[in-house]
A and B are shown apart, each in its own frame.
Chain A
Amino acid sequence: MERQLTAELWDKMHYLFRDFNDRMVHVELEYDYRININALKTVLVCAFEKIPVLHSSFTDNHIRPYWRVNEYNIDDVLSVEEVSEDELAGAVDDFLTQCLPPENQVQMKVCVFNHGEKSTLCIVENHMCMDGGDFKFFLKDLCRNYNDYVEKKISPIDMRQGTRSYKSVYKDLSQRDKKAAENLYRNINKKDDHRFPLTESQNGDKSFIARCNVSADKFLKIKSEGKKYGATINDMLMAAYYFSLYELAGFGEEESVSISCAIDLRRHIKDMSETGYTNHTAWMQCKIPERGRDIFETLQYAIRSANVFKQDKYMGLYGLPLLSLGYKIMPHAASEEIIKIGYSNPMIAMSNIGILEVDKLALEGHEPVKGFMSGAVKYKPYVLLSATSMRNELTLSMCVRGNDEDKKIVSRFFELMKKNIDVLIGESAE
């Protein structure tokens, strides 16, 4: 008998975003030893069995979409390639920029690139199944299970299971707050037509992931210098993002620009043990009234804008009831059309995915030597800057479907980011 899973609110929302991005979340972790493939296969199958949405196809039923659970074989999920050091970067990029259609049999692909005595673990997964926040939890659980299996022969079945419903964000609120949050029908995100200056879409556009590393010394300085200004890492990055964008796109200094920043709604959940891997991300639209005379003034604007959201105890919960109502009262096909009209997908966004903890991502005592995680490949003119850190080294990444000219533009943007970060931390050459 066919097994079905409910398509949750965020599954449907990310499906709706198919016009804006390829819905893939990417991770790359490099280990200085060769991963035990047989063990990894067992661990992955167990993870897939515990998280059935990973081997399900999204069925776009016009009335009520759902996930159909499929039979699969680990070879559909995991591939192993032997590559030389020279070929590695290209092979990794080719793997990471693939797109898994929602109708696919499996929603996650894993590849281990063996090069010399090292292994690079790359994973792509459908954002409809889980967001970056839960993907990090998933990776940590995967590594812990792998270690327990290899070192202690414990069956790798300890994965979080539970509801994937968006309503988990309400479960730990007080009765009164819950009632209030469930009535936040207001959509607080406004449309902003400012665009990242990429070229127009063309037929030959290809997905690419541009990365930029900021050294551990500088990253620590971002933290410490930020404190002096009352700014978080996010605020500092946001200020550099704004300043770089004004310069790159040639926005007028007096223009008000907004950048949407991803909010992890798990901040509202005290106990995650009964929550399955899913999406719990919303946007806070940070808006600055003008560029500011210098980057420090931009920083103050960014802090002020973020604080407006942070001081709100219902941060990120606005609009959820409206989306839910939209999907509830109408057939899926109709609700998609209505939501498309009302929902403004941010043109310029940032996702602070955060720290990739090497100790928790270690395999058989080998911590990853480098790695990063990034959000979906955005279709022009939409862009998303992802930020992750590992061993205090910051990786900024931008996944774009574009051409060589776009690669140059993004590369120029990263140069500006680096320059502006240097100014913020007082390391500017000027």
Chain B
Amino acid sequence: MKELMKYIDDSLSGIPDSKSFYKYKKAIVDEITDRANEITHAGIDDENVVRDLIISEYPDIRGEYGRLVDEEKKKRHKKQIRLACIFGSIIYFLVIVIAFLAVSFVTGDWAHTWVYLVSFIFAYLSAALIWIVVKLSRRQSLFHPVSRIFIALAVMLLTLTVFLYLKVIFDVNKSWLAFIFGVLAMMSADGIYAEKASERFAIFFHILYIVPAAAMIYIILGSLSVIPWHPGWLLIPASLIIVLLVIFIRILDHNKHKSQEIEEDSEWKDS
């Protein structure tokens, strides 16, 4: 036992005293004492073997303590972030409501100022949704559909904000086009997410989105008179070429992987 205690002391030498260090050292001493008793009870009477066996089970006491301290730090950091989020949110809402009331009372422009308030609320909700998406994406693919719904919601909230600014603040004609653009952005965001998250059927979503996306672009460009309605509609059938191109690229990529696979296997067999 003396040697084991020396091993603990040597391993932990130079670490400044603290409450957590004292707790950790006490726990290690207790654990190792119990283990030594267990092993001796099991039938080993060679002290060297007992010592070596226990040391092999506790090869890095110092490193373990370091990891424990890091973990505690991480936990504290997490707690601080959580508190910052809660208090930050409360302060954010207080500030925007006070700002809204102040601006409205000063300018008397109640017909327009509510848009600022609503846009800040939507921005907050969008940020919250994106934060949830980031969290869910780190988990199993089972949660990916939920993430995709949240992305769509976030995009729609931002679209609505843009629409309100265009319609209420700037009184832009054809501001309704923001919604068409919103749907286009939603499909693009979903396609990118499916690809980045290596969704199994990502290719089908790409194919499914291309033609409706072309129709949206046609409506936007046609409405803004960038292209004529006729023969601008040709954009829609032309999008089928992009569909075929996507399929072709995917097949090429798949075959490339396949040939790499065979190589790997044969190497493995040789070894």
A residues with CB within 8 A of B: 41-42, 45-46, 48-49, 71-75, 149, 153, 155-157, 174, 176-177, 270, 313
Contact = CB atoms under 8 A, between A and B. Distances in A.
B265 interface: yes
Contacts of A149: 49
Interface in B53-98: 53, 56
Contacts of B268: 270
B42 interface: yes
B134 interface: no
A313 B42 contact: no
B194 to A, nearest CB: 16
16 contacts: A41-B43, A42-B43, A42-B49, A45-B42, A48-B42, A49-B39, A49-B42, A74-B43, A153-B48, A155-B48, A155-B53, A157-B53, A157-B56, A174-B261, A174-B264, A176-B257
B41 A73 contact: yes
Contacts of B42: 45, 48-49, 71-74
A132 to B, nearest CB: 24
B52 A155 contact: yes
Interface in B1-56: 38-39, 41-44, 46, 48-49, 52-53, 56
B271 interface: yes
Given A46-B53, A155-B48, A313 B265 contact: yes
Contacts of A41: 43-44
Given A46-B44, A75-B43, A156 B49 contact: yes
Closest CB pairs A-B (n = 6): A74-B43, A155-B52, A155-B49, A45-B42, A45-B44, A157-B56
Contacts of A176: 257, 261
Contacts of A157: 49, 52-53, 56
Q: Name the residue among B41, B43, B44 with the largest chain A CB count within 10 angstroms.
A: B43
Interface string B223-243: 000000000000000000000
B268 to A, nearest CB: 7
A71 B49 contact: no
Nearest to A177: B261
Contacts of B46: 42, 155
Contacts of B49: 42, 46, 149, 155-157
A48 B44 CA distance: 12
A149 B48 CA distance: 11
Contacts of A153: 48
Contacts of B265: 313
B261 A71 contact: no
Contacts of A74: 42-44
A153 B46 CA distance: 11
Nearest to A43: B49
A73 B43 contact: yes
Interface in B143-179: none
A147 to B, nearest CB: 15
A45 B39 contact: yes
A41 B49 CA distance: 12
Q: Name the residue among B44, B52, B257 with the largest chain A CB count within 10 angstroms.
A: B44
Given A46-B44, A49-B39, A73-B43, 18 more contacts: A41-B44, A45-B43, A45-B44, A49-B42, A49-B53, A73-B42, A74-B42, A74-B44, A75-B43, A149-B49, A155-B49, A155-B52, A157-B49, A174-B261, A177-B261, A270-B268, A270-B271, A313-B265
Nearest to A172: B268
Contacts of B261: 174, 176-177
A153 B271 CA distance: 35
Contacts of A72: 42
A154 to B, nearest CB: 9
Contacts of A42: 43-44, 46, 49
Q: Name the residue among B39, B42, B53, B271 with the largest chain A CB count within 10 angstroms.
A: B42
Q: Name the residue among A42, A45, A72, A177 with the largest chain B CB count within 10 angstroms.
A: A45
Contacts of A46: 44, 49, 53
A153 B49 CA distance: 9
A73 B49 CA distance: 16
Contacts of A71: 38, 41-42
Contacts of A270: 268, 271
A74 B41 CA distance: 9
A36 to B, nearest CB: 13
Nearest to B56: A157
A174 B52 CA distance: 38
Contacts of A73: 41-43
Nearest to B46: A42
Nearest to B198: A179
Contacts of A174: 261, 264
A392 to B, nearest CB: 26
A149 B264 CA distance: 42
